[in-house]
Amino acid sequence: MSELKAKEYKRFEEIKHISADGGEYWLARELSDTLDYTEWRNFTKVIDKARLACKNSGFDIDDHFVEVNKMVEIGSGTSRNVIDYELSRYACYLVVQNGDPRKEVIAHGQTYFAIQTRRQEVADYFNQLDEDNKRLVVRGNIKQWNQMLAEAARNAGLITNEEYAVFQNAGYKGLYGGLDVKDIHARKNLSKNDKILDFMGSEELAANLFRITQTESKLKRENIQGARAATATHYSVGSKVRQTIKDLGGTMPEDLPTPEKSISKVEREQIAELKRKAEKKSLMLDE
């Protein structure tokens, strides 16, 4: 482990708490500071997404996000009551998954809180989800893997935004039979600011996830160097994923139906529903 990673991991260890029964937990406000969030209101948005991801993974939110109240000093000898959360290791893992990918500390947090044993549990539960929730889960995985693909591309020598845009388009062209991002956007009849990944069903998202994971792995495994070689690799992987779909008798990704509702809208609606349920539960406890 590098000195930098060891230092970052120590930051997460230092804010870990042990409960009376020996369990470990982290306080959300302390984790917020560690992850370099200066505004609590911004961090609560990350918590909302993490809570939704927890639900879609088949776990009880209240087991992993325990709401607590505490008094904090605000100056001049006065204090006020604020909301905090006791987060399990799994909750912290979901938080860093949904954090700002531009922060280097987020990447360290993803490694520190990684829970490999959850993969099979999530896979087992995945098949029980409805289509919208399957889309949410796969889209979340794509966000994480796209970060890793971007890092692998940088290590391969892609420096400029223009080079990375060409690299990304190559992957889509391979998977979509020559269609690039602009073409797919038009084919789905999306508005200017819509993101194509937000308007994919779970099957189409899964095909793209496979393209992304295999490209990231191949770039690293074969130590591919140079923008041209990396771009060619992305195209090749996309093409092979397309051929696999064809060999299996599947529907080509560009021919799959486009959902009417964006994943972003589904996420907002479900977060709002979680908040309504939490508020209702709080009112019942107060009665």
Q: pLDDT tens digits for 5-17?
A: 556 678 888 898 9
Please give the single-letter amino acid code of residue 81. Answer: N
- Counting the structural domains of the chain, the total is 2
Check if the beta carbon of residue 137 is closer than 8 Å to that of residue 122.
Answer: yes
One domain for residues 104 and 173: no
Which of 93, 108, 128 is a domain's end point?
128
pLDDT score, position 116: 42
Output the CA torsion sign for 220, 91, 36, 136.
positive
DSSP E strands, the chain: 16-18, 24-27, 65-75, 78-87
Give the distance, in angstroms, between the CA of residue 59 and the centroid of all CA atoms in the same chain: 17
Which structure tokens are listed for 127?
Answer: 């098949």
Q: Are residues 89 and 190 in the same domain?
A: no
Q: Which domain holds residue 259?
A: 131-287
pLDDT (tens digit per residue) in 59-95? 889 989 999 887 767 666 677 788 899 999 889 988 9
Last residue of a domain, one of 93, 128, 163: 128
Structure tokens at 145: 């893997």
In the block, which residue shows the tokens 């995945």? 126
Mean pLDDT of 194-201: 94
**Whether residue 160 is found in the same domain as residue 25:** no
Domain check: are 263 and 151 in the same one? yes
pLDDT (average), residues 182-195: 93
Whether 167 and 275 map to the same domain: the answer is yes
Residue ending a domain, choose from 73, 93, 128: 128
Query: Which is higher by pLDDT, 282 or 46?
Result: 46
- Number of Cβ within 10 Å of residue 281's Cβ equals 12
What φ, ψ does residue 191 adopt, rounded to 5°? Answer: -75, 165
**What's the average model confidence in pLDDT over 170-190?**
96
How far is residue 204's CA from residue 264's CA, in Å, rounded to a whole number?
16
Give the pLDDT score at 265. 92
Same domain, residue pair 178 and 75: no
* 286 and 146 co-located in one domain: yes
Q: Where does the pLDDT of residue 2 fall: very low under 50, low under 70, confident under 90, or very high at 90 and above?
A: very low
Beta bridge partners of 68: 84
**169 and 110 housed in the same domain:** no
Q: What is the pLDDT of residue 213?
A: 93
Task: Using pLDDT thresholds of 50, 70 and 90, give the confidence band for residue 108.
Answer: confident
| pLDDT at site 252 | 96
pLDDT at 261: 92
- pLDDT tier for residue 48 given thresholds of 50, 70 and 90: very high
Provide, rounded to the nearest whole percent, the portion of the chain with pLDDT above 90: 52
pLDDT tens for 235-284 read 999 999 999 999 999 999 999 999 999 999 988 888 888 888 777 766 55
